[in-house]
Chains A and B, each alone.
Chain A
């Protein structure tokens, strides 16, 4: 932020000169660039927390019942008596880890950061459609993050029903202690989060539709903006459904209604609720839940499209097909949610329909992968750290995507649903891909965010440790899952009672996984260090460090209100004219008019 602080004064733009106070500049800022950075900082903090939580429960899984100083240091006597993690807290850690990673890091953090930063800059707008709502969106996100974080310190523990918080478990404080105050906080936090996400998404949609600069037709938009745009639409259509699911759950918890509850006896107490259906909740949840996984993934794919094209010095292959796949994925993602419910007692015929739609979604996904690969073909690849991460993303998208095909086949899902195979699938395809995409974005647009360069060598080291570490964590989980090991188990000693060989295999693999997890986690220190060090002391960034075509690189390095001094740029071509024959340079920015007789593409 140093550069901004020193150099932003005395700027001259359309809005005229006005002094900004510290508060309006750094805290209640309405500038999209600052808000993007606020999202990023909050998300980085939440991400570190969630990663730490995962290390805590991985220790238990690898060395069950062994005393650990590390555990008692972080969890104290209440949750880790004698340095052994308690059963309940294990579930609490798993739940909050999942929630933070999916919603706070990969939804709020990823979309919040990059939609905010890039949409106005890449469509050629002075700011978001509504700066005030944008600010509100961040502060809602902030409050919900605080609530979620605070819920870790509640006396009865955080929510413990898994990130999907299926009732009745999440509705009954007597069923598990985390369903008391911890779950209340979870529900409030998520409700505020949803409000934040809705406000943000509406803003993104309006900005993309209305504030494109002259010449920026929809088919000249960078794929990043297309991805953010479709993501925002998914969010607007699906998050309200999660909100209603949460509100009904709150009513079951507080007002004695029976939306999700029926004929229950818990801890010896017979409840009067009758006629509710736990499946209703699952339908509502996954109606958001599945689009949500694409809300997480699409922005990452958008970022990497841009990065791969720039650093291969080639146009992205099949630009229109890429847009088509984004739209197809967006549409299909709304009609596949039932694949999470094959064995819940849902009508089997309905199951068949979801098998069909789910497998359809693999087609646009495959198209995207092949297009990325063809973009690399005969390119002239420059390995910036961002490029490494983007290629890593394509690999994990493939590796995790193919196992989806097995899971989507309901007849096979019976045998592996809710095992570690599923955990492997979604961590690779969603977790890793989105995290790699987010890192790629940070390395690539850091110069735009902070006016400084990050250190390249540290970036390399960070990438290789992360890729090897993460594959090392999640790949063996396939084998654990195929051995039938259920997920969300505190330990696997039950295997010892019926199948000693498999028990040993599971335990061997669990140790391997935990060791890789620790390596990968330590690797992130390199990133954190690089990130913060470069903010303050990194070398000054040139205006267009990656020799890129898109509009954001035509803005001055110093951030100014309104983005461009003087008039807004006019766009004359698509953003992917890299290595176009007959051009002097190997890139042609979107603002360069077509030469006489030049075809657009």
Chain B
């Protein structure tokens, strides 16, 4: 019904417009007006609108700059990020000047040189000197931009320092894990064929995981034997589609198992240690002023690790390793104070389209002071069982790590927030009228739901 009504309104609207056009046509026939002859009045009107539009554009821009600042991300929280921001600001100054200057020239000319009866246009086909000037000036400015930019780029993409801690960020639809290299600061080897969602989600390579993978591939659910049995069972009837799926899956597994046997044959157990002390978490904990070499890996499709506050971004590419070095120089707590927001957290968001829940693929990033970080790290070590404890540096102290960084679930939709805001304002207005002295309550208590860390 409502749709019908809307349709009706649209049709009526078009008919009305058509009638208006008829009237317009008749009247322009009477006055002998031609569409291609623009009256002076129309010319002047549009010229003024050009100037008006320029003001709208400029004032709108300045207003937004004042209201929103030019980066809603807050100050950079990493060493190279400060450099980035400095350069970004410099470039912004340049391009904003160019933006104002050239747009102003354009619109002012558009306004000023509108046709005036009796004043002919100035025949001015070219001027080589002038053209030279505006080729050379941009070239010089760009040269400066290029040199500064490349300097900075070289620094950012340079090799990590020797003391950098290695952390791997592992991505999959639709979540992230962090893997710390452990005491030896060497990340264990991996091979995607060793993946076991429950026991070895990051597909690390040790003698045991190879054996386990072979076993799973053969005898596990939907393993080779299982599939063969299903396919050969005369009592079971499958749809055409299911059958082909199963056959294809079986063919793949038969191929993969050969590769696994090869891997087993080549394996000497030499790298087991490297993998065994790796720590896996689902929050990225970093230590302030510590150099890090982050490497990135993907299980399925391309994702991108974007940490806006650290000015860090790198794609994760299936079948390849990518890297990025970063040195955080501000703790979460410090940023909370700057932002004056007790709930603030650094965050890593997926920034490459990767499927339906792309928008929901993120990981909290926590930057801590050294002392706090050490306590956390020791707690992680302790959680590992005895055999995995390969620490050479001293004993593990009893350590408990209590933190307030947690991953909140989004609780409110935007309309709800708007409604709340409106309510709060209404309450304030009421208060201002002095009707009652009751304090507006906001939010209620924050629930402290510590996230369990998987190891």
Does A associate with B in a complex? yes
Q: Are A579 and B319 in contact (CB under 8 A)?
A: no
| Residues of chain B within 8 A of A502, CB atoms compared | 72-73
A320 to B125, CA, bound (A): 10
Q: Which residue of B lies closest to A502 (CB)?
A: B72
Q: Are B84 and A414 in contact (CB under 8 A)?
A: yes
How many Å from the CB of A176 to the closest CB on chain B? Answer: 4
Please tell me if B157 contacts chain A, counting CB pairs below 8 Å.
yes
Report the count of interface residues on A (CB-CB < 8 A). Answer: 146
A394 to B164, CA, bound (A): 49
| Residues of chain B within 8 A of A468, CB atoms compared | 53, 56
A456 to B116, CA, bound (A): 20
Q: Are B95 and A355 in contact (CB under 8 A)?
A: no
A102 to B195, CA, bound (A): 40
| Residues of chain A within 8 A of B8, CB atoms compared | none
Q: Are B173 and A410 in contact (CB under 8 A)?
A: no
Please tell me if A155 contacts chain B, counting CB pairs below 8 Å.
no
Q: Are A453 and B319 in contact (CB under 8 A)?
A: no
Q: Are A162 and B353 in contact (CB under 8 A)?
A: yes
A399 to B109, CA, bound (A): 17
Please tell me if B175 contacts chain A, counting CB pairs below 8 Å.
no
| Residues of chain B within 8 A of A562, CB atoms compared | none
* Residues 56-75 of chain A, each 1 if its beta carbon lies under 8 Å from chain B, else 0: 00000001111001000100
How many Å from the CB of A478 to the closest CB on chain B? Answer: 8
Please tell me if B153 contacts chain A, counting CB pairs below 8 Å.
yes
* Residues 341-359 of chain A, each 1 if its beta carbon lies under 8 Å from chain B, else 0: 0011100100110011001
Name the interface residues of B402-455: CB closer than 8 Å to any CB of A: 407-415, 417
Interface residues on B, range: 35 or more
Name the interface residues of B66-100: CB closer than 8 Å to any CB of A: 68, 70-73, 81, 83-84, 87-88, 91-92, 94-96, 98-99
How many Å from the CB of A252 to the closest CB on chain B? Answer: 12
Please tell me if A601 contacts chain B, counting CB pairs below 8 Å.
yes
Please tell me if A402 contacts chain B, counting CB pairs below 8 Å.
yes
Indicate whether A374 sits within 8 Å of B124 (C-beta atoms), given known contacts A359-B145, A460-B42, A475-B60. yes
Contact of A489 among B64, B96, B343, B359 (CB under 8 A): B359
Q: Are B145 and A261 in contact (CB under 8 A)?
A: no
Q: Are B173 and A266 in contact (CB under 8 A)?
A: yes
Please tell me if B225 contacts chain A, counting CB pairs below 8 Å.
no
Indicate whether A278 sits within 8 Å of B302 (C-beta atoms), given known contacts A344-B317, A380-B115, A479-B64. yes
| Residues of chain A within 8 A of B333, CB atoms compared | none
Indicate whether A453 sits within 8 Å of B35 (C-beta atoms), given known contacts A366-B138, A483-B72. yes
Q: Are A315 and B123 in contact (CB under 8 A)?
A: yes
| Residues of chain B within 8 A of A271, CB atoms compared | 252
Q: Are A169 and B353 in contact (CB under 8 A)?
A: yes
Q: Are A409 and B149 in contact (CB under 8 A)?
A: yes
Tell me which of A33-41, A130-138, A288-296, A381-389 binds B. Answer: A381-389
| Residues of chain A within 8 A of B386, CB atoms compared | none
Q: Are A376 and B110 in contact (CB under 8 A)?
A: yes
| Residues of chain A within 8 A of B98, CB atoms compared | 398, 402
Please tell me if A572 contacts chain B, counting CB pairs below 8 Å.
no
Q: Which residue of B lies closest to A366 (CB)?
A: B138
A556 to B57, CA, bound (A): 43
Q: Are A497 and B87 in contact (CB under 8 A)?
A: no
Please tell me if B240 contacts chain A, counting CB pairs below 8 Å.
no
Could you say which of A69, A176, A343, A505 has the most chain B C-beta atoms within 10 Å of its C-beta?
Answer: A343
Contact of A414 among B309, B311, B417 (CB under 8 A): B311
Name the interface residues of A171-201: CB closer than 8 Å to any CB of B: 172, 175-176
Q: Are A379 and B91 in contact (CB under 8 A)?
A: no
How many Å from the CB of B30 to the closest CB on chain A? Answer: 13
How many Å from the CB of B162 to the closest CB on chain A? Answer: 19
Q: Are B153 and A261 in contact (CB under 8 A)?
A: no
A69 to B125, CA, bound (A): 57
Indicate whether A321 sits within 8 Å of B131 (C-beta atoms), given known contacts A355-B146, A409-B145, A418-B306. yes
Q: Are A168 and B95 in contact (CB under 8 A)?
A: no
Q: Are A362 and B153 in contact (CB under 8 A)?
A: no
| Residues of chain B within 8 A of A269, CB atoms compared | 249, 252
Please tell me if B308 contacts chain A, counting CB pairs below 8 Å.
yes
* Residues 288-320 of chain B, each 1 if its beta carbon lies under 8 Å from chain A, else 0: 000000001001111010101101111101111
Please tell me if A595 contacts chain B, counting CB pairs below 8 Å.
no
Please tell me if B50 contacts chain A, counting CB pairs below 8 Å.
yes
Q: Are A483 and B302 in contact (CB under 8 A)?
A: no
Contact of B106 among A367, A394, A455 (CB under 8 A): A394
Name the interface residues of A325-378: CB closer than 8 Å to any CB of B: 343-345, 348, 351-352, 355-356, 359-360, 362-363, 366-367, 369-374, 376-378
| Residues of chain A within 8 A of B364, CB atoms compared | 498
Contact of B407 among A65, A374, A497 (CB under 8 A): A497
How many Å from the CB of B222 to the closest CB on chain A? Answer: 8
| Residues of chain A within 8 A of B64, CB atoms compared | 475-476, 479
Please tell me if B322 contacts chain A, counting CB pairs below 8 Å.
yes
How many Å from the CB of A423 to the closest CB on chain B? Answer: 13
Q: Are A63 and B415 in contact (CB under 8 A)?
A: yes
How many Å from the CB of A214 to the closest CB on chain B? Answer: 24
Q: Are B123 and A369 in contact (CB under 8 A)?
A: no
Q: Are A91 and B353 in contact (CB under 8 A)?
A: yes
How many Å from the CB of B15 to the closest CB on chain A? Answer: 11
Contact of A263 among B126, B134, B319 (CB under 8 A): B319
Q: Are B195 and A265 in contact (CB under 8 A)?
A: yes
Q: Which residue of A lies closest to B158 (CB)?
A: A348
Q: Which residue of B lies closest to A405 (CB)?
A: B95
A169 to B81, CA, bound (A): 31
A482 to B95, CA, bound (A): 15
Q: Are A65 and B92 in contact (CB under 8 A)?
A: no
Q: Are B113 and A486 in contact (CB under 8 A)?
A: no
A263 to B3, CA, bound (A): 50
Contact of B122 among A345, A456, A476, A579 (CB under 8 A): A579
Name the interface residues of A133-169: CB closer than 8 Å to any CB of B: 160-162, 166, 168-169
How many Å from the CB of B408 to the closest CB on chain A? Answer: 4
A158 to B354, CA, bound (A): 15
A374 to B130, CA, bound (A): 10
Contact of B95 among A345, A403, A505, A580 (CB under 8 A): A403
Please tell me if A264 contacts chain B, counting CB pairs below 8 Å.
yes
Indicate whether A377 sits within 8 Å of B91 (C-beta atoms), given known contacts A278-B318, A351-B153. no
Q: Are B43 and A382 in contact (CB under 8 A)?
A: yes
Name the interface residues of B11-40: CB closer than 8 Å to any CB of A: 14, 17-18, 21, 24-25, 28, 34-36, 38
Q: Are A381 and B113 in contact (CB under 8 A)?
A: yes
Please tell me if A239 contacts chain B, counting CB pairs below 8 Å.
no
Q: Are A378 and B73 in contact (CB under 8 A)?
A: no
Q: Are A264 and B319 in contact (CB under 8 A)?
A: yes
Please tell me if B330 contacts chain A, counting CB pairs below 8 Å.
no
How many Å from the CB of A332 to the closest CB on chain B? Answer: 13
Please tell me if B239 contacts chain A, counting CB pairs below 8 Å.
no
Q: Which residue of A lies closest to B94 (CB)?
A: A405
| Residues of chain A within 8 A of B17, CB atoms compared | 529
Indicate whether A264 sits within 8 Å of B347 (C-beta atoms), given known contacts A345-B322, A366-B138, A376-B110. no
* Residues 298-329 of chain A, each 1 if its beta carbon lies under 8 Å from chain B, else 0: 00000000000000111111111100000000
| Residues of chain A within 8 A of B252, CB atoms compared | 269-272
Please tell me if B368 contacts chain A, counting CB pairs below 8 Å.
no
Shortest 6 CB-CB contacts between residues of A and residues of B:
A262-B319, A483-B72, A484-B308, A345-B322, A545-B36, A348-B157
Q: Which positions in A face B, CB cutoff 8 Å?
A: 63-66, 69, 73, 87-88, 91, 160-162, 166, 168-169, 172, 175-176, 261-266, 268-272, 274-279, 312-321, 343-345, 348, 351-352, 355-356, 359-360, 362-363, 366-367, 369-374, 376-384, 388, 391, 394-395, 398-399, 402-403, 405-406, 409-412, 414-415, 417-419, 447, 453-457, 460, 464, 467-468, 471, 475-476, 479, 482-484, 486, 488-494, 496-502, 504-507, 509, 529, 533, 537-539, 541-542, 545-546, 576, 578-581, 586, 601
Known: A269-B249, A380-B116, A498-B344. 5 other contacts (CB 8 A): A168-B301, A314-B124, A376-B106, A383-B46, A412-B88
Ordered by A's residue number, 9 sampled pairs between the chains whose C-beta atoms are within 8 Å are: A87-B359, A270-B256, A276-B319, A344-B322, A378-B124, A411-B156, A418-B306, A496-B412, A497-B407
